[in-house]
Every structure is written in structure tokens, then in C-alpha cells.
Amino acid sequence: MYIKFTNTKNTLVAHLSGELDHHSASEVRSKLDDMIERTNALNLVMDFSEVSFMDSSGIGVVIGRYKKLLSKKGKVSISNANGSVRRVFELSGMFKIIPVYNNSDEAIKSV
């Protein structure tokens, strides 16, 4: 799993690439938490456009960042979730609590 970060306004955008599963979840969690702390970001947009596979460990990563930023009065948004990744989110019920957008620009504007 590769993560490219961009920071705009008070929002950190994490462009994820590869598979987000039990093998990579711990590393992704650590990298996200580190960048959230270093940038003092209040909001996080997770861009899934290049994620080819995700399992329940990926859901755990997203929920953990949601709780972390909610405690700071921040928000987490999901963008570009397509195909099987979108299906995992739908089956988990995540879209009921975390907003999903067609692209990162829409997500950033909503914050």
C-alpha cells in the first residue's frame, strides 16, 4: 500500500494506492495518524481511486480515523470509492455515518 498526501486548507487528503487489507492496515493506520498529527489536520479525505482491494481491516482503519478526528471536532470523508471497494463500504453501512463523494475536490469543498 502506497499513500501520497496533500494538504489543503485544514484538510489532509490521503491518496491510497494498492490493497488495504490485514497485511497493510497497521502500516496505513500508522502513516495516517502520523500525518494527521504532523499537519494538525482537522479533516481527512481518503481517496480510494487507486485501491484495488479492501477487506474489513480497511473498514477498521477508516472507522479509527473517524473516531480520532471526531474527538477533535473534525471530519472524515471518502472519495472515489468504486467497484468492490465501494461494495465493502456499502455492506458495512459506513456510508450512513461517513460521507462519500465522487472525487476529492467535492469532499474538500464540503468541509
The pLDDT tens digits for 45-82 are: 999 999 999 999 999 999 999 999 999 999 999 999 99
- In angstroms, the CA 50 to CA 2 distance is 10
Domain count, the chain: 1
Cell of 65: 480515523
* Boundaries of domain holding 93: 2-110
| Structure confidence at residue 27 as a pLDDT band (50, 70, 90) | very high
**Residue 100's closest CA among 29, 30, 92, 86?**
86
Supply the pLDDT for residue 8.
Answer: 86
87 vs 8, higher pLDDT: 87
pLDDT at 23: 96
Q: What is the spatial distance between Cα 111 and Cα 88, in angstroms, rounded to a whole number?
A: 24
pLDDT 10s digits, 34-44 = 999 999 999 99
Confidence of residue 10 (pLDDT cuts 50, 70, 90): confident
Cα angle value 54/74/10 (rounded, 5°): 95
CATH label of the domain that carries residue 85:
3.30.750.24
User: Which residue has cell 482491494?
Assistant: 53
pLDDT of residue 64: 97
Name every residue whose Cβ is closer than 8 Å to that of residue 61 and which is 6 or more positions away in sequence: 20, 25, 28, 29, 32
